[in-house]
């Protein structure tokens, strides 16, 4: 059971990928099956079970895409 959980406001995502690069657990990736209103493939938690809720993804995100919960 993951200790953390990320929630996305995917319509804000510009697919800069900073969250993916800085996530220490490699939880995140682009959602290749979706195009958001801005025209990007938004991010998605590809491996949610690995999330520790460290919130680094939110810290590096310039666009307020991510909310993070932790136990």
Partner 1 sequence: MKKVFQKPESLTDAKNHYCPGCSHGIIHRLVAECMDEMNIREKTIGVCPVGCSVLAYDYFNCDMLEAAHGRAPAIATAIKRLLPDRFLFTYQGDGDLASIGMAEIVHASARGEKITVIFVNNTLYGMTGGQMAPTTLLGQVTTTSPYGRKAENEGYPMKMAELLSSNEGSAYICRTAVNNPANINRTKRAIKKALQVQEKGLGFSMVEVLSACPTNWGLSPLDGMKWIEDNMIPYYPLGEFKVKEEQ
Residues of this chain that interact with partner 1 (CB under 8 A) are 4-5, 11-12, 14-18, 21-22, 38, 40, 53, 55-56, 58-64, 66-71
Name which of 18 and 50 has its Cβ closer to partner 1: 18
Q: Where are the beta strands (DSSP E) in 1-71?
A: 4-8, 28-30, 43-45, 66-70
- In whole angstroms, how close is the CB of 16 to partner 1 at the nearest point? 4
Give least dist CB 57 to partner 1, A.
8
Contact 4, 69 (CB under 8 A): yes
Nearer to partner 1, 5 or 47 (CB): 5
Q: Which residue has the tokens 């929630």?
A: 7
Other Cβ atoms closer than 10 A to 51: 22
């Amino acid at each position: 059971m993951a200790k953390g959980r990320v929630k996305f406001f995917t319509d804000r995502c510009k697919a800069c990928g900073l969250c993916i690069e800085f996530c220490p657990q490699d939880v995140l990736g682009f959602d290749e099956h979706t195009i958001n209103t801005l025209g990007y493939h938004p991010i998605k938690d590809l491996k949610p079970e690995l999330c520790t809720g460290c919130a680094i993804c939110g810290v590096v995100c310039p666009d307020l895409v991510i909310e993070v919960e932790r136990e």
